[in-house]
Homo-oligomer: A and B are copies of this chain.
Amino acid sequence: MKCVRLWARDPAMPMHDPTGGSILVVAGTHGNERHAPWLLQQWQTQPQALQRHGLEVQLVLGNAEAHRQNRRYIDRDLNRCFDPGLLEDPNAQALEVQRARELLKLYGPQGEQPALVVVDLHSTTAAMGNSLVVYGRRPADLALAAGLQQCLGLPVYLHEADQAQHGFLVECWPCGLVIEVGPVPQGVLQAAICRQTQLALEAVFAVLAAAASGQLCLPPELVVHRHLGSIDLPRHPDGTPAALLHPGLQGCDWQPLQPRDPVMVDGAGQVIALEAVLPPALAGRQRYWPLFINEAAYGEKGIAFSLTARECWALPAGAAAGLEQLAAQLRRC
């Protein structure tokens, strides 16, 4: 992909604002995703083990109690607690809501040790590979994702407009994304997953350092997999699944799927095609790209897989400049 500069940098813009903020890296937002907390421990005891590209980085364990118990969460999913209405609700006292408030008080953009960019490290039982999740269409997020896609070829899941899933951590900072790596079982540490996580995180720092020094060079386009909706398994009245994912779909995240392709098989061995489970709002396309296929934690959310549209977007005007302006305020170390 040709590398072009799409914007003019304002020479009056400060290269480094000492009153700015750091990059926040959150590990263990879900307590049974073990890789990022393991890496965090290594980086804290051996700071040179993480290439920070000269930027100030704060490392924090997201949900320490859930991590201690090796559970995704204690009261509720921390990565759905960053919803303004929930955070401001005095009756919301779940452990994770309190932790969300605390993280914002400490590291939020107006926090005690403010961060301007957040990277939330996750793993999944789905075969997502090394990938990025971006929430909505904030220009700085898209610019950062484009830089990472250029560096490492990472695929991007653009999550938006889903009424059932909101309140994601990264949305509370001016810029941020999720690094999502899989497949790996919950509660298991695998060296390859750690390696991929670290590669993606160091690429974030490299892109931000380039942006901070006015050296950011982005591709003109970004390939996104735009969220359309999610599909659940058919269920019995008691909530238990009445079908399994079709074995041919397992592990096929990011691969195109047509309406007549098999996606499930019921208890009697009958195959169910995608078109039979597509809600009307999602029907009518020739191809879909399924993601988060059979993620262990999504059963309770009623998600067997999500469907996306693969699209090639021109970067929004000013996205790169916006990321440069933000990155210029990042503290150096």
Copies of this chain present: 2
Kindly state whether residue A185 has any CB partner on chain B within 8 Å: yes
Which chain B residues lie closer than 8 Å to A151 at the CB level? none
Which chain B residues lie closer than 8 Å to A297 at the CB level? 187
Q: In the complex the two chains form, what is the Cα distance from A294 to B184 in whole Å?
A: 11
A294 touches B244 (CB 8 A): no
Q: Which positions in A face B, CB cutoff 8 Å?
A: 38, 41-42, 45-46, 49, 125, 183-192, 194-195, 240-241, 244-247, 250, 265, 267-268, 294, 296-297, 299
B45 touches A190 (CB 8 A): no
B296 touches A244 (CB 8 A): no
Instruction: Tell me how far the C-beta of A240 lies from the nearest C-beta in chain B, rounded to whole angstroms.
Output: 7
Question: Of B45, B189, B265, B296, which one neighbours A245 at CB under 8 angstroms?
Answer: B189
> Assuming A183-B185, A185-B185, is B192 touching A247 (CB within 8 A)?
yes
Instruction: Tell me how far the C-beta of A66 lies from the nearest C-beta in chain B, rounded to whole angstroms.
Output: 14
A187 touches B268 (CB 8 A): no
> Assuming A265-B191, A268-B49, is B299 touching A240 (CB within 8 A)?
no
Known: A46-B267, A190-B244, A191-B245. 15 other contacts (CB 8 A): A38-B241, A45-B267, A49-B267, A125-B188, A184-B185, A185-B186, A186-B187, A189-B244, A189-B245, A189-B294, A190-B250, A191-B244, A191-B246, A191-B250, A192-B247
Which chain B residues lie closer than 8 Å to A294 at the CB level? 188-190
Name 14 interchain pairs, CB-CB below 8 A, sorted by A.
A38-B244, A41-B267, A42-B267, A46-B268, A49-B268, A125-B185, A183-B185, A185-B188, A187-B296, A189-B241, A190-B245, A191-B245, A191-B247, A192-B247
Q: In the complex the two chains form, what is the Cα distance from A285 to B251 in whole Å?
A: 38
Q: Which residue of B lies closest to A248 (CB)?
A: B191
B247 touches A190 (CB 8 A): yes
